Copies of this chain bind each other. A is one copy, B any other.
């Protein structure tokens, strides 16, 4: 059921968790061998799952001694969560952007998967009721309302 990409993603997350300072260094060829896949598969996983919008930075270097370095940006707990939410959501938010934000919140363990699923469902259900040009604005507004309430404890 789980795709190869999912497995590789999990593996990398595991390594990242164990890594010091949230920095992980790997070799593409080696990882591809480990999973018996094309090296470009690794790029695919990085491009789709370890993006900036999800809070990761990826650096690479070619040639002998080349590497792929994955860094996880953490949300400073000190930084006021409410402020972050306001800023990141803004006045208008596409479905994709909303999805990225939810994934980041799950990553940061501010939401669990079930809650994220509920938020998605509630969002979709309500946003679909209005005509397309306003959906992004409504999505921002509803998501902000939901998160304001849901993340309140940690305010």
Residues of A within 8 A of B (CB): 1-6, 21, 23, 25, 27, 52, 57, 59, 63-65, 67, 71, 73, 112, 114-115, 117-123, 125-126, 129, 138, 141-142, 144-146, 148-150, 152, 154-155
Contact = CB atoms under 8 A, between A and B. Distances in A.
A13 B151 CA distance: 31
The oligomer's copy count stands at 2
Contacts of A112: 155
Contact of A125 (B115, B118, B129, B145): B145
A73 B119 CA distance: 12
A65 B118 contact: no
Contacts of A73: 118
Contact of A121 (B6, B52, B119, B141): B52
A147 to B, nearest CB: 9
B120 A145 contact: no
22 contacts: A1-B65, A2-B65, A3-B65, A6-B65, A21-B114, A52-B121, A57-B118, A59-B120, A71-B117, A115-B155, A118-B155, A119-B149, A122-B144, A122-B145, A122-B149, A123-B145, A126-B141, A126-B145, A129-B141, A145-B145, A145-B146, A149-B150
Contacts of A120: 59
